[in-house]
Structure 1
């Protein structure tokens, strides 16, 4: 019987997993999911900053929508990071320059609600493109779990895009 200390010892590096997926695919998927995780955090932070600072006639609908979005995005970050771990890789310990995720303080005061929405739309569209490519690669590799997770994420982002565009439609 293994002693408790060896059983409970955590690994501090990538793990070798044998889940029926190629090792090279696992590394590529983990990197792509790390990029998606960074995009998710970028949208979480921007949505939260805009939630706090939106003004004007679109205040209430945008304030409420961005709150829904940042809460959903924050929860999604955990799901994405856990998938990276399930693929045998460490979830990113840093997400690049997090300060770059948020709009600059001087810029926020100059943005209209429409500017904020357009900025969020741009970031959602970028995220959707990476997610779609990663989901297609997951399908090709037989990684139905990652593909399914990304389908859920795509559903959220495409609905977010629809709602954001609807708020500023004339």
Structure 2
């Protein structure tokens, strides 16, 4: 069925392409956060195990909202691990240690990478693609990641 929302197909396609990359980043970050939840060791195990659980649940909601945004503008969200690895800006975790500080530093860097990427698209979604809705959507995502990054940063020792 034809979508009639005042947005031309090429603009919807451009937004969907950016959102697909974001979905890949969110999915990789989700998996890395799950890994931290499963593998964290040390005297602070229980506290960090629960903390990482809280964060991966937030990321699960984010992934769903990004995929639904892609669908709402008339495109299909990528939905394979292969596609996510081809689209992501992030790298898979390579840490050999399972300490909370290492996991937190790595996850924080990933959140900051996503924040920078989202911030870079806010204006272009409105100006180039004429999609204030998606601009507002990714602004909200950026704010959520900023808060998640703050929580991670607050756990780091100086």
Q: TM-score, normalised by structure 2?
A: 0.84
Question: Which structure's CA Rg is the greater one?
Answer: 1
Q: TM-score, normalised by structure 1?
A: 0.79
Separation in structure 2 between the aligned mates of residue 88 and residue 95 of structure 1, nearest angstrom: 22
- In the alignment, which of 118, 123, 129 is matched to residue 136 of structure 1? 123
Name the CA shift for 1:61/1:136 in 2 (closer, same or farther; >3 Å).
farther
In the other structure, the counterpart of 1:163 is 151
Aligned residues: 153
Structure 1 residue ranges without an equivalent (≥5): 1-14
Separation in structure 2 between the aligned mates of residue 30 and residue 48 of structure 1, nearest angstrom: 26
In the other structure, the counterpart of 2:3 is 17
- Alignment partner of 1:116 is 2:106: no
In the other structure, the counterpart of 1:27 is 13
In the other structure, the counterpart of 1:77 is 63
**Offset at 1:138?**
1.9
In the other structure, the counterpart of 1:152 is 140
Give the aligned CA root-mean-square deviation in angstroms.
2.3
Separation in structure 2 between the aligned mates of residue 142 and residue 97 of structure 1, nearest angstrom: 27
1:69-117: CA deviations, max 9, x gaps? 111111111111111111111111324366897535xx45x24221111
Separation in structure 2 between the aligned mates of residue 145 and residue 62 of structure 1, nearest angstrom: 36
